[in-house]
Amino acid sequence: MCNNMILSELSLDDEVILKAFMLKRMLKSVNGEIFAPRSVCVTVESQQNHSSKIVISLGSSLSSTNTPTSWSSPSGLFAFGFYTQDIGFKVGIWLNHCKTVVWTANRDDPPITFGSTLELTRDGKLVLRTEHREKKQIAKTLASAASASMLDSGNFVLYNNDSEIIWETFAFPTDTILGGQNLSIGGTLVSSVSNTDSSTGRYQLKMQDDGDLVWYALNTEETIIDGYWDSNTWQKAPDFLYLNHSGILAIINSTSLDMIRILSANNNNSNTIIYRATLDFDGVFKLYSHKFDESTGENQISIEWKAPDNPCQVKGFCGSNSYCTLDDYQPYCICLPGTDFIDPNQRSLGCGRNFSQESCKGGIENTTSFNITTMDNMMLADVPYAYESMSIEDCMTSCLEDCNCEVAQYVVKYCSKHSLPLRYVRRDTTPSKVFFKVGTASVIKSENGTTPQFMKPTPQPPLVLVKSRNTVMLILVTMGLLTSSCAALAISGIYVYKFRVLKYKRLLQYGNSCITEKLTMQLFSYSELKKATNGFKEELGKGSFGAVYKGTLYKGKMLIAVKRLEKVVEEGEREFQAEMRAIGIN
């Protein structure tokens, strides 16, 4: 809905706010330099009783304990301080009645542990001190603060000695803007990971330089393909997105003070209703109203407006290679044919291919390794690598024979071919055919007969093709001979091994009592000879090449003589053998 509304259609409070906003956007002088702030959110204190604001003096501090402390706004609607996340704490601002977090400091830092403190120091700095005494600055200012306040608008501010705001949380929004807050050109809101984790999520809302308000998947090139909702106000030169205290969310031109586009037209002047506009973790931008009943303490939360209406229109909601569908009005992610969830417990991570493309050869030979699965009314928003005019049959065949093609889309005589991964796949009412190339598999229809599922092919043993009976006989005879040879070698090896082991054992047990004149030589290690001669203790004689020692083998059953050669030469060896014969004869 596009409306051009003049300032007179706004409430008196809104008119004051916008006029003050214009004054604050005028050129300012800092250290003699002139500049015009563009991407900073400028806010105006309205509906605030300055005399009733609670002043936080220098030296004040908060602590993270079992009951973390905070600084509340005068009415108690908002609080600033430590709130719990996981097993630790974060520093932020929340609605007291429902504990809804609307702002977080250093949102991607790990949770703070017990024993940390938040302090407005004596020298005018707002700093966080961890239990290990590490210091992190929460508010970066050029000048030192003289005091601080948590306002009923949800804005935490630092003042100088002249009671001028030198820093405010409204200038640095995370995922939410509140009543009286605006988002200027270049400003962004970034979703959180979840309702319980305020870290940076997957989506962003951006007030672009061209005046268009656009929702994007985060960490993209921010092209038309990456956007999934926009205000279509680029041609009207707006300056900021503004949410007033009565629930009007509008895009405004600050020069003419026109409302270029009203997103939500609530106009409730009740002071007990708080409005907030949040880019939720699912990528949907929602305007919430919080109605407080002071007599009963009840808190009623309602969604006044949201965009897009269907969460499945959020690009990247289901991750790569998957698409979103509604199940009982709730978004549900399904993998594309030929893929499986990377993690079934975290479907937003997307899906990966469940078959290999190594067998892809290209051309007509490729058709034996893959099948084509067709789905209707699917749209691929990714940029194709090929786009040609052809028939639907040629589109399917072309993809099947092309190794680079994994998905093809046919719409009105045109075929677009894609490779995985696909980021932006969705159901669509536009007549279309999408061809998915998958590995050879068995197709199983789901109970409702609409969602195809796929089984990975069971590996089969290689087939041996034979041409004649003679070939079969030759193969059998060869295999029989090989088997017989292997068996014979194994039996021979076992027999020789057992025979030699048995002979050696008997020799060690009984010795050899039939030493002939030609003494059979047997090898012994040095340590065995040393043990047999009791350390070369009893010397029998001494020849020219070494001494001869008395020894025993086989537990004393056999006497031996051991000559310890001093010169290893041929003559010494012959002399040793002669001495052995002589000893043996004696």
Residue 520 confidence (pLDDT)? 55
Give tens-digit pLDDT for 127-148. Answer: 999 887 788 999 999 899 999 9
Predicted pLDDT of residue 86: 84
Residue 534's pLDDT band (cuts 50, 70, 90): confident
Give the span between the Cα atoms of 561 and 551, in whole angstroms: 6
pLDDT for residue 379 is more than 90? no
Length of the chain: 586
Give the pLDDT of residue 505.
58
What the block records as the tokens of 453 is: 């599922």
Task: Give the tokens for residue 315.
Answer: 């690009």
pLDDT score of 315: 92
Each residue's pLDDT tens digit, 22-50:
444 433 333 333 233 333 344 444 444 44
| pLDDT tens-digit readout, 226-249 | 999 999 888 777 788 999 988 999
What mean pLDDT comes out for the span 456-467? 42
Position of tokens 């894609």? 418
pLDDT of residue 501: 59
Is 563 flagged in the annotation as binding? Answer: yes
| Torsion-angle region of 132 (φ positive above 0: left; ψ -120 to 50: alpha; else: beta) | alpha
Q: Let me know how many helices (H) and strands (E) the chain has, helices first.
A: 5, 42
The whole-angstrom separation of Cα 353 and Cα 341 is 9
Domain 526-585 class, CATH top level: alpha beta
Q: Please give the single-letter amino acid code of residue 307.
A: A
User: Average of pLDDT values for 59-87?
Assistant: 91
* Beta-sheet pairing, 330-335 with 339-341: unpaired
- Percent of the chain whose pLDDT exceeds 90: 40
Q: If you average pLDDT over residues 259-269, what whole number do you get?
A: 81
Please say if the pLDDT value at position 125 is more than 60: yes
Q: Per residue, what are the HEC states of 368-386?
A: HCEEEEEEECEEECCCCCE
Residue 483 to residue 480: CA distance in whole angstroms:
5
**155-161 mean pLDDT:** 96
What average pLDDT does range 366-385 have in this prediction? 87
Report the C-alpha gap between 143 and 390 in whole angstroms: 68
Between these two residues, 88 and 517, which has the higher pLDDT value?
A: 88
* DSSP per-residue codes, 429-486: SS--EEEEEEES-EEEE-TTS-SEEEEPPPP-PPP-----HHHHHHHHHHHHHHHHHH
Options 2.90.10.10, 3.60.10.10, 3.30.70.100, 2.120.10.30; CATH for 48-170 is 2.90.10.10
pLDDT of residue 131: 80
Contacts of 446 (CB under 8 A, 6+ apart): 452, 453
Q: Say if residue 124's pLDDT is above 80.
A: yes
The correct CATH number of 322-455 out of 2.70.170.10, 3.50.4.10, 3.40.190.80, 3.40.50.410 is 3.50.4.10
| pLDDT higher than 50, residue 324 | yes
Q: Which CATH number fits domain 1-37+173-309: 2.90.10.10, 3.30.2010.10, 3.40.50.2000, 3.30.1340.10?
A: 2.90.10.10
Q: How many Å apart are CA 172 and CA 183, to the nearest integer? A: 10
* pTM to 2 decimal places: 0.67
Largest Cα–Cα distance in the chain? 140
48-170 shares the fold of 1-37+173-309:
yes
Query: Which residues, in sequence order, are bridge partners of residue 373?
Result: 436
Give the tens place of pLDDT for each residue, 542-568. Answer: 776 678 888 888 767 678 888 877 665
How high is the mean pLDDT of the chain? 79
Which uninterrupted H or E stretch holds 81? strand 78-85
- State the pLDDT at residue 12: 43
Would the pLDDT of 275 be above 50? yes
- pLDDT tops 60 at residue 510: no
Q: Is pLDDT of 372 > 80?
A: yes
pLDDT score of 442: 38
382 closest CA partner among 321, 309, 308, 310: 321
Greater pLDDT, 455 or 384: 384
Q: Do 254 and 22 meet the contact criterion of CB atoms below 8 Å apart? A: yes
* Residue spans per domain, the chain: 1-37+173-309, 48-170, 322-455, 461-508, 526-585
Q: Is the four-CA dihedral 376, 382, 383, 386 of positive or negative sign?
A: negative
* Residue 183 DSSP class: E
8 or 358, which is more confident?
Answer: 358
* Identity of the amino acid at 507: L
Structure tokens belonging to residue 92: 């932020």
